[in-house]
Structure 1
Amino acid sequence: MARPESQAHAVPLALAASAGMLMPLQALITSEGAGFLGGYLSAALLSALTSLACLLVASVAIPGARAGWRKFGSVWRDRTIPSWFLLAGLVGSYYMVAQAMSVGSIGLALFAVAVVGARTLSSIVIDMIGFSPAGKQPVTRIRLLGAGLLVIGAVIAAWGTGAQAAESPQALIALAVAAGAGLLVSFQQSMNGRAGKAYGSTTTATAINYLAAAAGLLVAMALAAVLQIESFGFSHAPLWWMYFAGPLGILFVVTGVTLVPRLGALLLGMGLVTGQLVGSLVMDLVISPELVGANEIVGTLVTLLAVLVASWQPNGRPRWKTLKSS
């Protein structure tokens, strides 16, 4: 029996929001690990290697993943996807370094603001040019209104943290790095989504993504060691909780690969960042409830409204009721 049409987009959107709720925890683990492990690259490399190990085990255990790896040669030989799609893994490594570098300087809230705003802009471009597996998506006035509300909600949620960030000499650099990560992550999700379709396996596409990420980080770490910017390797053995950043990153990438064909880049990004802000709010309530203000609660509610607006059709019917499930 076919699923009700009302679930065609509502369920994937809820899954995207759930995955997004764990992103602030990954950012916090990576940031805290950077100082202990000896640098930003070290923290990002640990996350990438842990993710890659998990995915290689899954590649052996899951029949669909084994089939995906068997298709690897033909996919690249026939140029089913462009060879430069391997850069998706480098984007992932950059995002992990951005987490390690930025969160300690500007905090989770401002990091989320920079990523959300930049990702929203790049997602609109991706949908306009049809770069995602979902093809060209209409960027209507109602969707632009939803994107605008999303950015406004993120700014409201982080209101009042700018003065604190301004005291840090690295704040502007950290904001620029975070914004760069937001601009690139939508393209990464679209590339991974198209790669997942080519291999016929989300696990295969995600494993290749992290293989490229780990290789890129090792090269960057070697260059940093030669330039005496950061030592090669880990200064201390990782603590047990630092290994959780990798699996959380897998969840984020797999969500993008799986859901971008259903939702398109803009709507997927909105679901993820809404969950990200909700997760940030929950973490603040658990870790430092005395710092939670009405602005964070209001900003989170505005982002939830933004997702509803962006998914609504001009005739008043929700977007998820107008498209049939595949």
Structure 2
Amino acid sequence: MTSGRAATALGLLGTALVGALTALQVRANGQLGHRIDDSTLAAAFSFGSGLVLITVIAALTPAGRRGIRALRDGISAGGIRWWMLAGGLAGAFTVSSQSITAGIIGVSLFTVGFVAGQIVFGIVIDRVGYGPSGVVPVTIRRVIGGAVALLAVGISVTGGNLTGVPWWMLLLPLLAGGGVAWQQATNGRLRGATGSAIAATAVNFLGGTIALVLIAAVHVAIVGLPERWPSDPWPYAGGALGVGYILLSAALVRRTGVLLLVLGSVVGQLATALVLDAFWPAPASPGLGHEVLVALIAVASVAIVVVPWPHTRPGARA
């Protein structure tokens, strides 16, 4: 194997690893929320532990320190607006959604709804020009991909074991995906202003942690602390997993491009989710066969959006 092919293969494996880490984070946060019976506190712990880790990375690396200085200077000069610092709120909502739903409906169904939300809301965000790339036209590929993603969501909620699950619990993954689409656009602007993925990640974890800790403090004051906490370390790994896939994505996108990063991470995320649900099924999981079908449709929806069609003009946007 030539060095170029080896580098490409490693890049593809890296994108799949990004997806696997994402699915593992969903599982960890869902398990913590389910086992302590407190999704609010679980989300706050996950974000808080991630904040500690990214703060250490920012302090110990030259790139991190440069990014924090650029962030400080940009805020002082007025070049960085307040809304560019609010991406962590969407991240907080996503982690809360994981803690509430993943332990009940399973990682696979959460992931399908999440991917659909990213595609559908991403079309809207690109069309209004909110992201760093400006206005991106709505193309037939994006519309078809969004429709197929919604079809996957529709099929995913027809499983027999989901009949007793509240409708809002099935809606949360879709909204979380939409929130992350907005968060990614906001982070793109912040990265452009600071020139640092580490600084943008630190801002996200800081904002999300503040919001979740305030909510958790009120919640604990009303209902008290959980009586039982897991003794094994796995449910507490959500924050570290989140930092891992964010930084890995930032490192890979320069080598693989956005297209392969998106498709590879979705495939890795859904494949890992299916394995997790096969060995550790959630109470409301509709069954492995049903989940495999839905996952394949979700992958197809992403492929429709990101893979160039025949006769597409080179360089045209998806």
Settle same-fold status: TM greater than 0.5: yes
Structure 2 stretches lacking a partner, 5+ long: none
Q: Over residues 43-63 of structure 1, what are the superposed CA-to-partner deviations in whole Å (9 max), with x where a residue is unaligned?
A: 112211211111111112211
% identical aligned pairs: 27
Contact 1:127 1:138 in 2 (8 A): yes
Alpha-carbon shift at residue 315 of structure 1 (Å)? 4.6
1:57 corresponds to which residue? Answer: 56
Distance 1:152 1:56, change over 3 A: same
Q: Compared with structure 1, are the counterparts of its residues 55 and 45 closer, same or farther at alpha carbon in structure 2 (3 Å cutoff)?
A: same
* 8 Å Cα contact 1:12/1:263 also seen in 2: no
- Quick check: 2:108–2:277 contact (8 Å CA) kept in 1? no
CA distance in structure 2 between the partners assigned to 1:302 and 1:15 by the alignment? 23
Taking the TM superposition and a 5 Å limit, the aligned residue runs for 1:172-321 are 172-226=167-221, 228=222, 230-231=223-224, 236=229, 239-254=232-247, 263=258, 272-287=265-280, 293-316=288-311
Deviation digits for residues 71-113 of structure 1 (CA, Å, limit 9, x no counterpart): 1222112333321222211211111111111123333333233
| CA displacement at 1:69 relative to structure 2 | 0.9
Which amino acid in 2 is paired with 1:43? Answer: A
Q: Is residue 127 of structure 2 the alignment partner of residue 128 of structure 1?
A: yes
Instruction: Please give the alpha-carbon distance, in whole angstroms, between the structure 1 residues aligned to 2:130 and 2:12.
Output: 20
Task: Indicate conservation of the 8 Å contact 2:64/2:196, yes or no.
Answer: yes
Size of the aligned set, in residue pairs, is: 308
User: How far 1:35 moved relative to its partner?
Assistant: 4.1
Q: Distance in 2 between matches of 1:268 and 1:148?
A: 22
Secondary structure, counterpart of 1:137 in structure 2: coil
In structure 2, distance between residues paired with 1:15 and 1:140: 29
Return the alpha-carbon distance in structure 2 between the equivalents of residues 315 and 65 of structure 1: 42
CA distance in 1 between partners of 2:178 and 2:215 (Å): 21
Aligned equivalent of 2:75: 76
Retained in 1: the 8 A contact 2:51–2:205?
yes
Aligned Cα RMSD in Å? 3.5
Residue equivalent to 1:102: 101
Q: How far off its partner does 1:193 sit? A: 2.0
Length-normalised TM-score, structure 1: 0.79
What TM-score do you get using the length of structure 2 for normalisation? 0.81
Unaligned runs of 5+ in 1: none
Letter in 1 for 2:304: V
Point out the more displaced range, 188-197 or 303-312. Answer: 303-312
CA distance in 1, matches of 2:130, 2:89: 18
Q: Distance in 2 between matches of 1:237 and 1:283?
A: 19
